[in-house]
Structure 1
Amino acid sequence: MRPFRAAALLLASLLPLGAQVTLKMATLLPENSSWFRIVKDMGDTWARVSGGRVKVVFYPGGRQGDEPDVVRKMRLGSLQGAVLTSQGLAEIDRSVYALSIPLAFDNADEVYATLEAMRPGLEAAIQARGFVPLNWADGGWVRIFSRRPVAAPDDLRRQKLFQWAGDPRTLEIWKAGGFNAIPAPATELATGLQTGLLDAFLTSPQVVLVTRYHEQAPHMTDLKWGIILAGTVVTRDAWNRIPADVRPALLKAAQDAGNRLRSDMRATEERDLKALRGAGVKVVPVDAHARQLWNQMVAGAAGKIRGEFVPAQAYDEALKDRDAYRRRGK
């Protein structure tokens, strides 16, 4: 029996070398979007450069649930990866919200300069929680979309505001500011708008154009609230099952996809805004007085944003790195 047992052990040790690793990856990205096509290309590249040893099965369009659901499924092992917005990434570590502090950044260059400075710490925090970050991108600049025009904070307070379910701390910040914030999964936003349960929400024009939310909320406030940070992560257990010799090529393909997503977002921003206006979306101007009211509102909530929405250390570091970038540009 001993020779047979030794042969069986040898065979078992060799099987992983030729076995295929299948990664199930979820995202809210719609299947018909240019963003998902870029992500799908990444998966195809993984299969090619690994010689078929790595296969990615994608679940786009929220088929695996909202982002908190997706992160929970990754922790349970039923999913191995995801393309997440800051909402989902914050389920892993809330420090990522430092790149989404309301009204803190003027342009994408500021955001990415701050991200680059903070990236080692952010990625270390994500890795410490059992995930491997593969790339960073964004979903465009968040603006307010609403059933009725919103120029100043009081206009928004009079409408039913969507707030992502599962984040009670952010919900409390909105409510403390006098807003009628209603928690719901992102996958139910369309239904909420159609039934009148919701009147307003914050997301980017690019997301609205793809999802057609503007058909129920045809007003867009001309105010850049913040950027939708995004990134691709896989579980550490899944990453470790991938043969070590192909991991560098997979990481490069993921980073290339992140760069393409960023470029696509910048290239299509004005085109998408024009398309929304052509579809009947009315841009609500924000004059100097209204802008001051928004700034005052955010400043009044800073004590809660710092510490509750964003961990204090990450909040301070983001503003310090942003200011350092601004000084270099002068």
Structure 2
Amino acid sequence: MPASQLFAAESALHINLGTIAPRGASYHQSLLAMGEKWRRATDAKVKLKIFPDGNQGGEADMVRLMRIGTLDAGLLTAVGLGDIETGVAGLQSMPMTFRDLQEFDYVNEKLRPRLEKRLLEKGFVVLFWVDAGWVRYFSKKPMVRPDHLRKMKLFAWAGNEKQVDIMKKAGFHPVPLETAEIVTGLNTGLIDAFCVPPIFSLAGQLDLRAPHMLDLNWAPLVGAAVVRKETWDRIPATAKKSLLEAAAHAGEEIKAKSRRESDESVGAMKRRGLTVHPVTPEVAAEWRKVVEGVNHRIRGDIVPAEVFDEVQMLLKEYRAAKAEKST
């Protein structure tokens, strides 16, 4: 049946999607391409409008707007997703847990069905999952060891009071801000350091204000595009297949591009003055000690205990299978 007949009872459905992704970045471009596919697949009966650059506010703001129906959808990091379903924190808020992105991919694939079910129960349909590779520390002055960072004012995601409390108890000085406020915070001296994917730093020219990067894979930056179930339910079931296929393609494209661009962006920033500080085994051990000292708080306060434990179990499973293959 033609799409025009599927939507015969309604005028065009306008879906507004917010994201903190910068305008023109690969994230934004892939979302625009997805929207065009949606328009063509439904004879312009579904029109997706993208609001990049945090135009709709920070992630906590966007979740609130979606809950009241002012915003239909969002491409959110685990920070925003965690405001809906805390279990998502198991993919991002366990520092130095994953040794490489292959380990992360394995755990992500195993946890995803459960997380999608929980998000659906809370009124949100997952269109696709993404990640932007590793987040790394950037700072105004050289910063290598935990004690160096303890002397700085560190950006923290606004809205996560428990995480701020854990950081303080570990001796750090977090300053809760929205990502859109990082530049202002650096310019005014409100913050001296922040932890983001390199591509985010490059796109926002943050490295020009914080020209030092610690080459430590702290944690993956995880995200997902979600849409309000009430909005999604207005689309006929026969049309959803094409829309989900377009969304899956956008997700894979964003994931592949962002991981590649994350590495490329470090080179681009180095060419304009970024200093990359290597991490020796001794320094890595110091950072791991910090993580071990707060894991008992992360488990339960940030990441639900059962999710925290399952991540650890899945990693043991993956590493054992990998070791067996290599023998």
TM-score range, shorter chain: over 0.9
Q: Is the 8 A contact 2:31 2:50 kept in 1?
A: no
Are 1:28 and 2:16 counterparts?
no
Paired amino acid for 2:151: R
Q: Is the 8 A contact 1:17 1:243 kept in 2?
A: no
Aligned to 1:41: 33
**Secondary structure of the residue that 1:321 maps to in structure 2?**
helix
Aligned to 1:187: 180
Q: How do 1:165-244 residues align onto structure 2 when only pairs under 5 Å count?
A: 165-244=158-237
Paired amino acid for 1:170: Q
Q: How do 1:28-107 residues align onto structure 2 when only pairs under 5 Å count?
A: 28-100=20-92, 101-107=94-100
What 5-or-longer segments of structure 2 have no aligned partner? 1-5
The Cα of 1:326 is off from its aligned counterpart by 1.8
**Secondary structure of the residue that 1:189 maps to in structure 2?**
helix
Runs of 4 or more above 6 Å deviation: none
The Cα of 1:106 is off from its aligned counterpart by 1.5
CA offset digits 1:275-295 (Å, max 9, x no partner): 011111101122122111101
The Cα of 1:109 is off from its aligned counterpart by 1.4
What TM-score does the superposition give when structure 2 sets the normalisation length?
0.94
**Secondary structure of the residue that 2:106 maps to in structure 1?**
helix
Q: In structure 2, how many angstroms separate the alpha carbons of the residues matched to 1:17 and 1:84?
A: 32
**Secondary structure of the residue that 2:55 maps to in structure 1?**
coil
CA offset digits 1:19-57 (Å, max 9, x no partner): 211101100111121221011101111111112110011
Alpha carbons of 1:15 and 1:86: their partners in 2 closer, same or farther (altered >3 Å)? closer
CA offset digits 1:244-302 (Å, max 9, x no partner): 21111111111111111111123323321110111111011221221111011100101
Alpha carbons of 1:234 and 1:289: their partners in 2 closer, same or farther (altered >3 Å)? same
Q: In structure 2, how many angstroms separate the alpha carbons of the residues matched to 1:41 and 1:326?
A: 38
CA offset digits 1:150-171 (Å, max 9, x no partner): 1111000000001111110100
Q: How do 1:230-269 residues align onto structure 2 when only pairs under 5 Å count?
A: 230-269=223-262
Q: In structure 1, how many angstroms separate the alpha carbons of the residues matched to 2:296 and 2:123?
A: 30
Q: Is the 8 A contact 2:18 2:52 kept in 1?
A: yes
Are 1:159 and 2:159 counterparts?
no
The Cα of 1:91 is off from its aligned counterpart by 1.0
Q: In structure 2, how many angstroms separate the alpha carbons of the residues matched to 1:277 and 1:305?
A: 34
CA offset digits 1:73-128 (Å, max 9, x no partner): 00010000011111111111111111121000122111111011111111111111
Larger radius of gyration: 1
What TM-score does the superposition give when structure 1 sets the normalisation length?
0.94
Aligned to 2:136: 143
Q: In structure 2, how many angstroms separate the alpha carbons of the residues matched to 1:151 and 1:92?
A: 34
